[in-house]
Structure 1
Amino acid sequence: MSTSTPTARRPKAPDTRGPVRKLLTSFGFQILAALVLGIAAGLIGRQLGATHDTHTVLSDTLDKIGGSYVTLLRAAVVPLIFTAIVASISNLRRVQNAARLAGQTILWFAITAFIAVSIGIVLGITIQPGAHAGTDLVKGAVATQGTWWNFLLGLIPQNFLGLAVNTTTGPTDGTFVSGVNFNILQVIVVAVAVGIAALKAGRKAEPFLAFTESLLKVIQRVLWWIIRIAPIGTFGLIGSAVINYGWDKLTSLAWFAGAIYLGLALVLFVVYPILVKTHGLSVKQYFTGVWPAVQLGFVSRSSIGTLPLTERVTERNLGVPRGYASFAVPLGATTKMDGCAAIYPALAAIFVAQFFHIDLNIMQYILIVIVSVVGSAATAGTTGAIVMLTLTLSTLGLPLEGVGLLLAIDPILDMGRTAVNVAGQALVPTIVAKREGILDLDLYNAPRNGLPFAEDIDDEDAASASTADAGSPEDAAAAAGSADAEETASVR
């Protein structure tokens, strides 16, 4: 396979901030500060008598702040998924050996999922969280049940947008209340079909593909503004979680929560570093490069909501070429779920079996592995993994009432699950790019001392800036061409 020279990239903006301003404006510091302040506000709220059933001004305020931020993220999910997938598929026309890259990406998705689910099974058998659970847990079914038939039928689009309108009767006054929902799996199917059709249409589809890529840039810019206010949303989400769930809810499920976070830690801090090291890459550079996206995934609990930042750190920090990253990262955000679709359903299924005193045989453990590796798309990059859990339980023949046992602490677990998901979504493209000889090693090993998340500069602006800085028209043209090369260079 032929390799190309590293793609020309515009240099990072010089960092002229002082130490104090650099700390205060650091995304990581802002998220950490919001976490601490949110926990403090939640504890204060509980001291003032606020609980899940008892509301106060503080609890309502925190709930509105956190809920509004989640609403903003969800509002951008559908257009982001559609445009990102169509654009990522269309980008394959610029990539040499596209089929090989796609195959390698899917293969490594499966390999890492297999490792993660194996860790979950081993921890479930060893720690036995179901045997240590309290007897006062509430059993109950959930509204959404995942089965293989539901999963397969759910892939068939009901309409172009995967749109569904649900109408229910109000609990008190008998009025009708309608709500609009999007089936994310159907949106993905429609986007994949449109993207492939556009590729097959050839030159006549170029205007559509150009429009889709432009629309994606606009949506990503809007979502980037939403990401910028993530510390505010974090403050409300964490504070509301502490009030609604409290630390006492962890008492009867402490062994299960501990097993989940132990499994997540093993994958994030042991398995991923081993994979990075065995491919001749620096573990420190990987973590410093991907950490901003991991932090946002932790607080937002949405792989899709974190997608723009994940793609940005994968390209700008880890050195994955844009043509490949723009395909692999959106694909991973919808199907690569080591936390939600591998560790969690494995441990949760074993927990339910132990709680109901059901012995699992070797075939059922194999089914857990198969469901986790094959059924990852059931999570579809949105918050929560209940559908994936019910899919696993129904496949194993375990009581679905067991899902209700774990709902109380699901938001607490979902933060860690999504963080691992995001880390894996950046890891696999990095590994594949390194194996295929297209990883920009200079960029991967570069010090993280600039402003890697500065606003994108349009090509026209870059050309204008180059003209102002260049000493001659020839220099200006060369600089502008370097900026354009980042967008159009093929990956070899």
Structure 2
Amino acid sequence: MTRISFSAQVFLGMAIGLILGFWARSLGETSALAETLRIVGETFVQLLRALVVPLVFTAIVASIAALRDVGNAARLVGSTLIWFAITALIAVSIGLALGVLIQPGVQTGVDVAAAVRPATTGSWLDFLRGLVPSNMLGLAASTRITEGTASTTLSFNILQIIVVAIALGVAAVRIGGAGEAFLTFNASALAIFRQILRWVVRLTPIGTAGLLGHAVVQYGWQSLSALGAFAGAVYIGLGLVLLVVYPTLLKLNGLSVRGFFAAAWPAIQLGFVSRSSIATLPVTEAAVERIGVPKSYAAFAVPFAATTKMDGCAAIYPAIAALFVAQYYGIALHASDFLLIVIVSVIGSAATAGLTGALVMLTLTLSTLGLPLEGAGLLLAIDPILDMGRTAVNVAGQALIPTIVAKRQGMLADIDPADPALAPAA
């Protein structure tokens, strides 16, 4: 296997996953093969997610320590935010244009009985509250009682972790010599977690087979028939952004399209099968560094992008979905409504916080426009299938912006993509 490139290994894993998935589907969703695919895929994502918190925390603290010696740190942050807004504006404009041209809400065959109010909805107030850490670890616990049995699960809020890391990093830098020991320990911890990441990433082809196979078993493709126009509009929009907009921006900034996608493709593939920008974050950061973006900037920009830069989930999808809901219920939208969609997409994408799925962002958009939240329930049947493409575009954008900013700031290093120390599967 060492003679096969990492990308080829992932493609092989995807092919095997598809074959095993259709085989398992023919055997039944409760078959041993279906269960094996589920366990393999979930275990791989769990391993990646276990590394997210320590990697994000140590990487951001280390980036703040490194950026203290960079004179244009404020300009880097400003340029990053501007490019976030530019690409989000382009993506949401494409989504609105496709929604108007294709009219997915008029051409749908979905039953009105599928319109149910989602259990989870997004709100601006909840988003703002989520920025304030509830504890220093950004962790939350929830207990569910089912038939007399209680189960407790832990989750993390990546935005809160970033806020805590920024605060601690800035404080350690400001206190001078007293903070050097902490910064040195943090740098060592980051190096250790990066090494563990390399071991986990070796398993990507196997994890890909499990994740894609399980997706085929669980969802299949039959749900696409009733929402074919909507799914087509979404994937056309995703394709235009990934294959037209991003390459154009790379060319305009004097960057190699082939070189970028060669380095970022492993992260894009993993985003497609895992459906989580957060789970893909470590691989995305490694890809950006492989392109030549300095570690000090990549360690800050990529985690920040993974929570706030989502052209798929927060721009294209909610734009088309909002028009779908309006068309389905026969509600006319005016120019001010289109402007609201643009505003929500450009500044509200952090509400998704890198979570699997875009339900929070969609309900946030619908509530802002005053459209019925039950309309989101019409789209849930095919959401996992769409989420694969959305997350792939998210991850590509999260790698694109740091690359463009580093290039425009004269920070992009000349790195040999064949360097084994930078290879994704190293």
TM above 0.5:
yes
What is aligned with 1:378?
A: 351
Q: In 2, Cα distance between the equivalents of 1:77 and 1:324?
A: 18
What is aligned with 1:98?
A: 73
Q: In 2, Cα distance between the equivalents of 1:116 and 1:284?
A: 22
Cα pair distance change 1:366/1:28, threshold 3 Å? same
CA contact (8 A) 1:92 1:327 kept: no
Q: In 2, Cα distance between the equivalents of 1:192 and 1:323?
A: 14
What is aligned with 2:365?
A: 392
Cα pair distance change 1:133/1:177, threshold 3 Å? same
Shift of the alpha carbon at 1:271?
0.7
Count of paired positions? 425
Kindly provide the CA deviation profile for residues 251-305 of structure 1, in whole angstroms up to 9, marking residues without a partner as x.
Answer: 1122111111111111111111111111122222222232222222222222222
What is aligned with 2:48?
A: 73
Q: In 2, Cα distance between the equivalents of 1:142 and 1:96?
A: 47
Specify the code of the residue in structure 2 equivalent to 1:22. R
Equivalent position to 2:154, from 172, 176, 180: 180
How is 1:402-413 mapped onto 2 (pairs within 5 angstroms)? 402-413=375-386
How is 1:274-353 mapped onto 2 (pairs within 5 angstroms)? 274-316=248-290, 318-353=291-326
Kindly provide the CA deviation profile for residues 328-371 of structure 1, in whole angstroms up to 9, marking residues without a partner as x.
Answer: 22221222111111111111221222222222111111111111
Kindly provide the CA deviation profile for residues 137-160 of structure 1, in whole angstroms up to 9, marking residues without a partner as x.
Answer: 622222221101111122222222
Specify the code of the residue in structure 2 equivalent to 1:320. V
Specify the code of the residue in structure 2 equivalent to 1:39. L
How is 1:41-440 mapped onto 2 (pairs within 5 angstroms)? 41-48=20-27, 50-51=28-29, 55-136=30-111, 138-170=114-146, 172=147, 174-316=148-290, 318-440=291-413
Shift of the alpha carbon at 1:449?
4.5
Shift of the alpha carbon at 1:390?
1.5
Kindly provide the CA deviation profile for residues 371-409 of structure 1, in whole angstroms up to 9, marking residues without a partner as x.
Answer: 111112112223222211111111111111122222222
What is aligned with 1:31?
A: 10
CA contact (8 A) 1:74 1:305 kept: yes
CA contact (8 A) 2:52 2:281 kept: no
CA contact (8 A) 2:48 2:200 kept: yes
Q: In 2, Cα distance between the equivalents of 1:21 and 1:221?
A: 18
Q: In 1, Cα distance between the equivalents of 2:164 and 2:69?
A: 22
How is 1:8-27 mapped onto 2 (pairs within 5 angstroms)? 22-23=3-4, 26-27=5-6
Aligned-partner SS, 2:223: helix
Cα pair distance change 1:93/1:240, threshold 3 Å? same
Cα pair distance change 1:73/1:308, threshold 3 Å? closer
TM-score, structure 1 as length reference: 0.82
Aligned-partner SS, 2:142: strand
Q: In 1, Cα distance between the equivalents of 2:372 and 2:7?
A: 41
Shift of the alpha carbon at 1:456?
11
Specify the code of the residue in structure 1 equivalent to 2:12. A
Aligned-partner SS, 1:383: coil
Deviates more, 1:143-152 or 1:85-94: 85-94
Point out the structure with max Rg over C-alpha: 1
Q: In 1, Cα distance between the equivalents of 2:97 and 2:347?
A: 20
CA contact (8 A) 1:95 1:323 kept: no
Aligned Cα root-mean-square deviation (Å): 2.1
CA contact (8 A) 2:110 2:378 kept: no
Shift of the alpha carbon at 1:312?
2.2
Q: In 2, Cα distance between the equivalents of 1:31 and 1:215?
A: 29
Cα pair distance change 1:312/1:167, threshold 3 Å? closer
Deviates more, 1:185-194 or 1:354-363: 185-194
Q: In 2, Cα distance between the equivalents of 1:455 and 1:209?
A: 27
Q: In 1, Cα distance between the equivalents of 2:289 and 2:297?
A: 9
CA contact (8 A) 2:52 2:282 kept: no
Q: Provide the identity percentage.
A: 59
Aligned-partner SS, 2:348: helix
Q: In 2, Cα distance between the equivalents of 1:71 and 1:406?
A: 27
Specify the code of the residue in structure 2 equivalent to 1:224. R
Kindly provide the CA deviation profile for residues 176-215 of structure 1, in whole angstroms up to 9, marking residues without a partner as x.
Answer: 2222222333222222222222232233212112222222
Shift of the alpha carbon at 1:247?
1.1
Kindly provide the CA deviation profile for residues 50-83 of structure 1, in whole angstroms up to 9, marking residues without a partner as x.
Answer: 24xxx22222221111122222222222222222
CA contact (8 A) 2:273 2:388 kept: yes
Q: Runs in 1 of length 4+ with deviation above 4 angstroms? A: 454-457
Q: In 1, Cα distance between the equivalents of 2:125 and 2:84?
A: 24
Kindly provide the CA deviation profile for residues 123-144 of structure 1, in whole angstroms up to 9, marking residues without a partner as x.
Answer: 1111111212213362222222
Q: Unaligned 5+ residue runs, structure 1? A: 1-19, 458-492
Aligned-partner SS, 1:159: coil
Kindly provide the CA deviation profile for residues 458-479 of structure 1, in whole angstroms up to 9, marking residues without a partner as x.
Answer: xxxxxxxxxxxxxxxxxxxxxx
CA contact (8 A) 1:302 1:381 kept: yes
Q: Unaligned 5+ residue runs, structure 2? A: none
Q: In 2, Cα distance between the equivalents of 1:391 and 1:314?
A: 31
Shift of the alpha carbon at 1:246?
0.9
